[in-house]
Amino acid sequence: MRKYILKRLLQSVVILFFVAFIIYALMRCLPTSYIEAMAQQKSMQPGSKSYEEWMQQLTVMYNMDGSIVTGFFRWIGSMLRGEFGDSWKWTVPVVEKFNDTVWLSFVMGLISFILELLIAIPLGIVAATKQYSKADYTISVIALAGISLPTFFFASLLKLVFSVKLGWFDLYGLIGRNYNQLNAWGQFLDKANHLVMPIVTLVVVSMGALMRYTRTNMLEVLNADYIRTARAKGLSEKKVIYHHAFRNTLIPIVTIVGGSLPGLFSGALITETLFAIPGIGYTSYNSMVSGDIPFSMFYLVFIAILTLLGNLLADILYAVVDPRVRIA
């Protein structure tokens, strides 16, 4: 087991190296970079140096002289030394900006993830136990609708109904207009109030997949021989489903849930952008659009690490939860 994990980790490092290189090359190849925009702006000022001179100076200043390959190795070097550089757009150290924003995204992700589990798993089980019933069809259609619902459309609908028509929530942002006049509890409530619509969006859009996954796996388990045996023994249907079937359904579910835990830190890029919630997703969206290489690189590599970690965690959990699986 230890050997397996070690091997996987080594593999992940190699994969990460290439992923980072691809992303870095891509960011460097942008036809108009942040630096060019900056040089343009600076050369416009009265009595300033020419665009070319600024360009030259800024390229050196931002460490962007040299080819993509040397630049990449320089970047890797400073990464390994733990120097992540300063964000160009936010003009603070990358780690600081990251720390400022990631926890909000994590809280948002965690709440919606828990809600998702609480809604999707029971509904998936109900759908499987009553296969081809009205309930099953309804749940299946809801799950598929959730998968098919474009995030931005659903968010717009929510805004129209709850923000414009009912006026319960603000359209955008994390804090209200009179946030600074509120006491600590009031500030907490204000933030919570602003997070309701984003979390609802996240839950509705993402629960469909888990619901279907639960249903499929539960169906598979219900068709297994040991369930027939359990029924043949004369156990009550309740006991068969919740004691024998459900526990076995948990195996793949625990795997997938464990695998998606690292993803909680990655932020919800689209949802956060739609609601202007200053989490990691929204921040990185703005960084990427404005060509802020240090922050975007940090974020993208972070996401890649989370993905790899998630896959590894899922595979390990699979072996841990299911004694039949042996990984070599």
Partner 1 sequence: MSDNENNKFSSSQTAAETADKPNEQYSLSDDRRVKVLSPGALVAKRFFRNRLAVTGMVILILMFAFSFIGGLVSPYRQDQLFYRTDVQIKDYAGVVHNEEFRYTVNDPVLFKNIVQAQALKNIMAGSDTFTYNGTSYTIEKIADDVYAVSSGGNVVGLASKELVTSSTRDDVSFAFTEAAFRARAAGEGTFTADGKTYTLGEGDSITDAAGSEVAYISAYIVRPVMPDVFFSRDFKDQLIDAVESGQTSFTYTGEDGVTAEYILSYNATSKSWDIKQEIDTKVFDTYSSPSSEHWLGTDRNGMDMLTRLMYGGRISLIIGFVVVFIESFLGIILGGISGYFGGWVDGLIMRIVDIFYCIPSMPIIIIIGAAMDAANLPSLTRMMYLMLILGLLGWAGVARLVRGQILSLREQEFMTATEACGIRPSRRIFRHLIPNVVPQLIVYMTMGLGSTIIMEATLSFLGLGVRFPFASWGNIINDVNNTYVLTNYWFIWIPAGVLLLVTVLAFNIVGDGLRDAFDPKMKR
CB of 251 to partner 1, least distance (A): 20
Per-residue interface string for the shown chain with partner 1, residues 86-115, x marking contact by CB under 8 A: ------------------------------
Interacting residue with partner 1 among 270, 276, 313, 320 (CB under 8 A)? 270
Closest alpha carbon to 75 in 305, 307, 293, 327: 293
The window from 13-21, 61-69, 98-106, 252-260 that contacts partner 1 (CB under 8 A) reads 13-21
Buried (b) or exposed (e) across 289-317, using 16+ Cβ within 10 A? eebbbbbbbbbbbbbbbbbbbbebbbbbb
Which distant-in-sequence residues (6+ apart) come within 8 Å of 272 by Cβ?
A: 105, 108, 198, 278, 279, 280, 281, 282, 285
Q: Does 19 bind partner 1 (CB under 8 A)?
A: yes
Closest alpha carbon to 245 in 216, 268, 221, 271: 221
Q: Which is nearer to partner 1, 187 or 220 (CB)?
A: 220
Gap between the Cα atoms of 100 and 257, Å rounded: 26
- Amino acid (one-letter) located at 305: I
DSSP-derived secondary structure for 273-290 = HHHT--SHHHHHHHHHHT
CB of 98 to partner 1, least distance (A): 15
The window from 28-36, 187-195, 235-243, 315-323 that contacts partner 1 (CB under 8 A) reads 28-36
Closest alpha carbon to 256 in 328, 303, 206, 301: 206
CB of 147 to partner 1, least distance (A): 6
Per-residue interface string for the shown chain with partner 1, residues 206-235, x marking contact by CB under 8 A: -----------------x------------
Q: Does 64 bind partner 1 (CB under 8 A)?
A: no
Interacting residue with partner 1 among 87, 101, 112, 140 (CB under 8 A)? 140
Q: Does 151 bind partner 1 (CB under 8 A)?
A: yes
Instruction: Please count the residues of this chain forming the interface with partner 1, following the rule CB under 8 A.
Output: 50
Task: Sort 256 into a burial class: Cβ within 10 Å, 0-12 / 13-18 / 19+.
Answer: middle
Which distant-in-sequence residues (6+ apart) come within 8 Å of 301 by Cβ?
A: 16, 19, 20, 23, 79
Residues that bind partner 1 (CB under 8 A): 11, 14-16, 18-19, 22-23, 26-27, 29-32, 132, 137, 140-141, 144-145, 147-153, 156-157, 159-160, 164, 171, 223, 269-270, 273, 284-285, 288-291, 296, 299-300, 303-304, 307-308
